[in-house]
Chain A
Amino acid sequence: LAKTTQPISMDSYEGQEVNITCSHNNIATNDYITWYQQFPSQGPRFIIQGYKTKVTNEVASLFIPADRKSSTLSLPRVSLSDTAVYYCPAGNKLTFGGGTRVLVKP
């Protein structure tokens, strides 16, 4: 069963860049890498998805090395409203893991 590992928590300050790395154990050849954001008492929200190299959208960037055994979500210039839990579920969506709790301080 696919499984991911990511840090439990990270602290940052407003205006800084936050990078969260996820290790992908047993990632399959056809698995995509997807990141979600969850605020308290809400469901997770899709942020970004990629297969290899780099993907960028209006919210974040996703860096995936050639071996695809990890990925890094980059949040540029975070604000207080970026305080949330960030997940990198395994490709089949069955395993979300505990996520990374990001706290942005003023």
Chain B
Amino acid sequence: ETGVTQTPRHLVMGMTNKKSLKCEQHLGHNAMYWYKQSAKKPLELMFVYNFKEQTENNSVPSRFSPECPNSSHLFLHLHTLQPEDSALYLCASSPRTGQYEKLFFGSGTQLSVL
């Protein structure tokens, strides 16, 4: 148990569906992250939030829309996805942004787009 909880663990959606991934951290951290991990590819940073403000968007397509209502919760809204978006989506948190900070990851949501 890392203190970072992601739901759902598994999600299957069609290309026309709209769904949301949820992440909640119970560590009192102020920075939260979304990563994408495709099969046989490195972890890719998608978004970074620090004190609820987005500080990084790593050229992510607009069909992925993040939301951070407070420092404990992070959402990733999905719409009109493509099959190549199938991947493990990982949420992480850290006390604050900064290269010396340890990241605490959730177990991820395994997404399949049909």
Residues in A lying within 8 Å of B, measured CB to CB: 30-32, 34, 36, 41-46, 49, 87, 89, 91-99
Which B residues are in CB contact (< 8 Å) with A96? 35, 42-43
In the bound complex, CA of A92 to CA of B58 (Å): 13
Decide yes or no whether B26 CB sits under 8 A from chain A.
no
B99 x A41 contact (CB < 8 A): no
B21 part of interface (Cβ distance < 8 Å)? no
List which B21-62 residues lie within 8 A (CB) of chain A.
Answer: 33, 35, 41-43, 45, 56, 58
Question: Which of B2, B42, B108, B110 is A99 in contact with, Cβ under 8 Å?
Answer: B42
Closest chain B residue to A46, Cβ basis? B102
Partner of A93, one of B4, B103, B106, B110: B103
Partner of A45, one of B2, B45, B88, B99: B2
Asked if B99 and A30 sit within 8 Å, CB to CB, the answer is yes
Q: Is the interface of A mostly helix, strand, loop or mixed?
A: loop
A34 and B42 form a contact (CB under 8 A):
no
Count how many chain B residues have C-beta atoms less than 8 Å from C-beta atoms of the other chain.
25
Let me know if A49 and B102 touch, CB within 8 A. Answer: yes
Distance (whole angstroms) from the CB of B7 to the closest CB of chain A = 14
Nearest Cβ on chain B to A60's Cβ, whole angstroms? 14
Q: A30-B99, A43-B90, A92-B99 given as contacts; is B107 within 8 A of A97 (CB)? A: no
Q: Do A43 and B42 touch across chains, with their CB atoms under 8 A apart?
A: no
Contact of A44 with B99 in the complex, beta carbons under 8 Å? no
A44 touches B102 (CB 8 A): no
- A-B contacts, 12 listed (Cβ < 8 Å): A31-B99, A32-B99, A32-B100, A41-B107, A42-B105, A43-B90, A43-B91, A45-B2, A46-B102, A49-B100, A92-B99, A98-B42
Taking A93-B101, A94-B56 as known contacts, 20 extra A-B pairs with beta carbons closer than 8 A to each other, sorted by chain A number, are A32-B100, A34-B102, A42-B105, A43-B4, A43-B90, A43-B91, A43-B105, A43-B106, A44-B43, A44-B90, A44-B103, A44-B105, A45-B2, A46-B103, A49-B100, A49-B102, A93-B99, A94-B45, A94-B58, A99-B42
